Structure 1
Amino acid sequence: MPPAPDRLKADYDRARNAVALLERTDRGLIEAAGPDRAAWLNNLVTNVVKTLGPGDGNYAFAVNVKGRVIFDMNILVLDDLALPEGRLWLDIDAGWITDAMKHLDRHIITENVTLTDRIRDFHRWALLGPRAAAVVERLGFGNLVPMAQLQHVEHPFDGGTVRAVRHDFAGVPGVELLVSAAASDALRQRLIECGSNDNIAPIDPAAVHILRVEAGIPASRIDIDAEVIPPETSQIERGINYKKGCYLGQEVIERMRSRGMLPRQLVGVRLSGRAVPALPLSLSRDGNDLGRVTTVVWSFALDAPLALAYVKSAHAAPGTKLTATSAEGTALDGQIVAFPLRASSS
């Protein structure tokens, strides 16, 4: 038996094979409004903004002049970018909202842009698993299956609206539902009713944590912090557009690409033992330092501890063997694994 509670494994299996319900209190929301919002934001993030249409979204980083991460975000376009009164939503880790507001406000110079912290205005529920789309359809919100990641639609609900966002944030099919705080309990009840045939139940966030690590998805403030540059996070395809032109910190990131320089990168490391080791853990090979571990979980897919770690690129190939050492000097055998560990259940 793995060193994890039976309920954690049951929650994990529910999200892998059916549908689970998660209350997302870890995310915040900043609204950017005004006629200059798209061009202004496009100059501050690593991904393209100006070509997005209403209902589109993408993932991006905000970086400093040295190219290091300040925060990462999901960008949701609510209205046509040509509309002067239109809005953008920036979906950001709740722990980064204050710093994000300061950074963004600092870079409003002459642009006509207004920022509003909407973290208290909306409540967020998420469905995870292959039956999530069926529950949403029973709710009357349409078919989410053809939607691309971070595409979103608004539907009437309980005298207001719900915005449904296609988002596989844990590596399994997923949808996030943003609703007014006043209508949150009513939406939760309807989700439970619509998912009853699929045995929907709340999921422990620890099980979600395992799923996203097995999918190789880094988390804000845990695996993505001020020490890293976006290409090192292994999120280039979804988070960086090298053709969009200039933005704050772009020179550093473009130089890394043009010169083929990637000093380190985020990888998965399978560890020995039957217990999840405590952080910090350092990584080495033949006595040489290789990098640092940011997260460790018990992987049900591997039946072993699994870490996310930043490793020197010269030693980042799957199959590479290394040693993980705790602060107390305990050494564990490790081997780099390829992501994702499991096939998608969409």
Structure 2
Amino acid sequence: MTSPFLSLPGAVGEPVALHYGSPVIEQRALDAGNAIVDLSHRGIITVAGADRLSWLNSMTSQQLLGLAPGVATETLLLDPNGRIEHAIRVVDDGETTWLLVDEGSAEPLAAFLLRMRFALRVEVTDVSADYAAVLAFEGGSAAAALRALSPAIEWADPWAEVTRGGTQYANGEHAGAGWSAVQFVFARAGLAEVSLAAPAAGLMALDALEIRAWRPSRVGDVDERAIPHEFDWLRSAVHLTKGCYRGQETIAKVHNLGHPPRRLVLLHLDGSEGELPVAGALVFKEGEGADPEARPVGRITRAALHHEWGAIALALLKRSVPGDLTLAVRAGAEAGDPAAPVEGVIAAAQEMIVPTDAGATRTIPKLKRL
């Protein structure tokens, strides 16, 4: 289904626009709350029935019991080993719980939920073909314009602060403290009117703002080994005392007794060459980026040109990498392949998100030796 946003002047990319001809200008407008982003390629699932919240609560990482109508939260569906399978944006309207997920997630998540119904009073429906999300930030004219069109529901991103039952690994003032993104869900039949409600910004603009706010993305940053601790995702998507759910043992063990094996950092990139690394580009210690025999210490997940901060990226590094170490990123289309020829090296300075000592919040008393 083609999005009406792609009919707007300058639209580049599909199934939704990456930009409309001026990515940096669009980014400024989006950041100020005066532009909207088409997220119609993402999925939406509804769960109806009297047992919906207790049922979802039993399977995912966030406390959903007693979730009041209109209150937005997010939760993670983990595998039995605590690895992230789905990141789910949740809001309930009093009769139905709406689950907003990244592209490619609706079908497998709906199939999993349908298998887990048993005898409970729940009804799961993938409504991605009927509804679509559009994003705007508070503080400008765009959110008000979308509200005037009477969306089915709103989901206000909780990333700006630590939610009840969560915890934050990042030290000092958090880069996401002013985050005010809201997703508005509309019937697809009315999306053409929605596309004209405010100036449009592309996904590139949203990516840059998310990177600067340290905001993790399931489709952008998570791989098959990822656990929530590595992204400081316990601040908004995990309730540490809610009780049992799939993957809960890993959450508790790493937080209380261990350390996440990797840690998310923001990289400030040398933009003198005007090149951004691709997703998956390998990260090395300073001075080793051009060495074909060097061993990488991490990888880029997303990179963007920020309208104030210039070239920035999110990267997953080995926990053992010192936080003050200058790094080097391999550029080029094959930068994620250690055996590929080195086409260029970009110097990078770290901005700490997840500290090297994150986790291990409980002290185990040593037993006296006989």
TM-score (norm 2): 0.73
Query: Which of 10, 22, 25 in structure 1 is aligned with 2:40?
Result: 25
* Paired position in structure 1 for 2:13: none
* Paired position in structure 2 for 1:128: 137
* Paired position in structure 2 for 1:312: 318
* 2:45–2:99 contact (8 Å) kept in structure 1: yes
The letter of the residue matching 1:44 is: M
Query: Which of 91, 105, 108 in structure 2 is aligned with 1:96?
Result: 105
Cα distance, 1:227 vs structure 2:
2.1
Identify if the C-alpha distance between structure 1 residues 26 and 163 changes in structure 2 by more than 3 Å, giving closer, same or farther. Answer: same
Structure 2, gaps ≥5 residues long? 1-18, 160-175, 289-293, 354-370
Report the secondary structure of 1:297's partner residue.
Answer: strand
Cα distance, 1:35 vs structure 2:
2.0
Counterpart CA distance in 2 for 1:65 and 1:333 is 38
Paired residues for 1:262-301 under 5 Å: 262-272=260-270, 273-285=273-285, 289-301=296-308
Query: Which of 282, 306, 309 in structure 2 is aligned with 1:302?
Result: 309
Cα displacement string for residues 3-42 of structure 1 (whole angstroms, at most 9, x for unaligned residues): x998212111212335002222132111111222122111
Structure 1, gaps ≥5 residues long? 80-85, 142-155, 193-200, 340-346
Paired residues for 1:46-65 under 5 Å: 46-65=61-80
- Aligned residue pair count: 300
* 1:59–1:75 contact (8 Å) kept in structure 2: yes
Cα displacement string for residues 215-244 of structure 1 (whole angstroms, at most 9, x for unaligned residues): 111222220232201111221110111110
Identify, as 1 or 2, the structure richer in strand. Answer: 1
Paired residues for 1:1-346 under 5 Å: 7-79=22-94, 86-128=95-137, 130-132=139-141, 136=144, 157=150, 162-167=152-157, 172-189=179-196, 191-192=197-198, 201-272=199-270, 273-285=273-285, 289-303=296-310, 305-315=311-321, 317=323, 319-325=324-330, 326=335, 327-329=340-342, 330-338=344-352
Cα distance, 1:139 vs structure 2:
6.9
Cα distance, 1:212 vs structure 2:
1.2
* 2:49–2:123 contact (8 Å) kept in structure 1: yes
* 1:316–1:336 contact (8 Å) kept in structure 2: no
Of stretches 28-37 and 103-112 in structure 1, the one that deviates more from structure 2 is 103-112
Identify if the C-alpha distance between structure 1 residues 187 and 26 changes in structure 2 by more than 3 Å, giving closer, same or farther. Answer: closer
The letter of the residue matching 2:140 is: R
The letter of the residue matching 1:173 is: S
Identity of aligned residues (%): 21
The letter of the residue matching 1:245 is: G
* 2:138–2:182 contact (8 Å) kept in structure 1: no
Of stretches 28-37 and 324-333 in structure 1, the one that deviates more from structure 2 is 324-333
